[in-house]
A and B are shown apart, each in its own frame.
Chain A
Amino acid sequence: MSASIPALVYFSSKSGNTHRFIQRLGLPALRLSAEMDQLPFPQSPYVLICPTYADGEGRGAVPKQVIRFLNDPERREGILGVIGAGNRNFGATYGLAGRIIAQKCNVPLLYTFELAGTDTDIARVRAGLEKLGRHPCSTAA
């Protein structure tokens, strides 16, 4: 079945929470990091997973490297949806990067989780991605 699961692209900084989430999810995924010069190019439609790095007002919530990635129309074209990450203790800006990307790219915000995610988050995201693979159109709300 995994052939129908959409590809994954994710950002994770050196604190590595999102990376640990992806490892536990156990699905192939392309990583974006602040240190890289050459951005990866996804070969098929993908879901983007992105943590939040806002200041107190919500500015800068989406990491610069993710903005650079999405600024390229060819890379942006394949985005199916976004999953936001963060920490609820940041209050009103919890998971803000996911909301901003959804709005900017006009794709659904599929899910939001905290830090490296719980086992429940992993199960829900895996099931959701499988469903998305089977009925790709149903997300075009």
Chain B
Amino acid sequence: MKDMTETKIPRAINWNRLDDEKDLEVWNRLTVNFWLPEKVPLSNDIPSWATLTDHEKQLTIRVFTGLTLLDTIQNAVGAPSLMPDAITPHEEAVLTNIAFMEAVHARSYSSIFSTLCSTKEIDEAFRWSEENPHLQAKAKAILDTYAPGNDPLKRKIASVFLESFLFYSGFYLPMYWSSRAKLTNTADLIRLIIRDEAVHGYYIGYKFQRGYEKLSEAEQQEMKDYAFGLMFELYGIENQYTEELYDELGLTEDVKVFLHYNANKALQNLGFEALFPPEVSEVNPAILAALSPDSENHDFFSGSGSSYVIGKAVATEDEDWDF
């Protein structure tokens, strides 16, 4: 019998031998995406911040403390909890990158605060986040799934829902301000976070799919039921959180549509079909435009949009093209 506590030495990671090409593809994208909040001139938003009402300011700070909590969870617990389940050493390396970027995200909200708000306002908002029942409920639902000993695939489901769904009740607000030409530098920073979360949700969802395809049909059904069940639970909490935050500005219905749209995308990252029908998932075009500026949506088929105007000539000169 071997000693149970024998030290397990990992094998040195060789990036020239890949078990899964996606690991390198995603590693490359994450590393070129690397950024720090200092890169964004947040102080240019000071005049714009001054035009917000006291209530709008308070709402904005609260929303950002809620986002800070999710990033903190993903940094300290979420991404590290996925590491023991990694199938390849490269997957572990990607997860350490994800974990670190979550710390950058959490840190950047504090940069926004110190640029725009008073210490008193900041302290009030953090106190609010600790006491808000809906925020605490979603944190708890996710953390319960992350707990040691839990099913690795269920952990990935919860992680994708955090990355691709739970953030969006919060991300809505800076996109809304940006669509009204307010806090546009803050929106630039939030877009960097959104881009990172897109890669995180994609990658964890991809790894989920690799595990899911190995399950028996019965196990797949159980796993899928679990995913939709957790989505319903989180959606219920998000609805209440949204009402509490956005009722006063009259934005609740608009935010809920955004929740449906993102819930569908989170499920697609797991390889599942959408849950909410198109009628309740068509997001306000101003919000869509704020998410992806300069990438005007083309619908040549239905004749909307002038013609096939090609956007700004971006990076068409990839060396692999022969023509």
Contact = CB atoms under 8 A, between A and B. Distances in A.
Interface of A: 13-17, 20, 34, 53-62, 64, 67-68, 70-71, 73, 76, 81, 84, 87-96, 98-100, 102-104, 108-112, 114-116, 118-120, 124-125, 127-129, 131-132, 139, 141
29 contacts: A13-B22, A14-B22, A15-B206, A55-B28, A56-B32, A67-B320, A71-B320, A71-B321, A88-B295, A90-B198, A94-B295, A96-B315, A98-B298, A103-B313, A104-B321, A108-B300, A108-B307, A109-B308, A110-B298, A111-B298, A115-B265, A115-B269, A118-B274, A118-B278, A119-B274, A120-B282, A124-B302, A127-B301, A128-B300
Contacts of A91: 191, 194-195, 291-293, 295
Interface in B206-221: 206, 209
Contacts of A68: 320
Contacts of B205: 15
B20 to A, nearest CB: 8
Contacts of B311: 99
Give the contact-size bracket for chain B. Answer: 35 or more
A29 to B, nearest CB: 17
B33 interface: yes
Interface string B282-323: 100000100111110111111000011011011110101111
B198 A87 contact: yes
B229 interface: no
Contacts of B310: 99, 102-103, 109
A125 B299 CA distance: 9
Interface of B: 21-22, 25, 28-29, 32-33, 191, 194-195, 197-198, 202, 205-206, 209, 264-265, 268-269, 271, 274, 277-278, 281-282, 288, 291-295, 297-302, 307-308, 310-311, 313-316, 318, 320-323
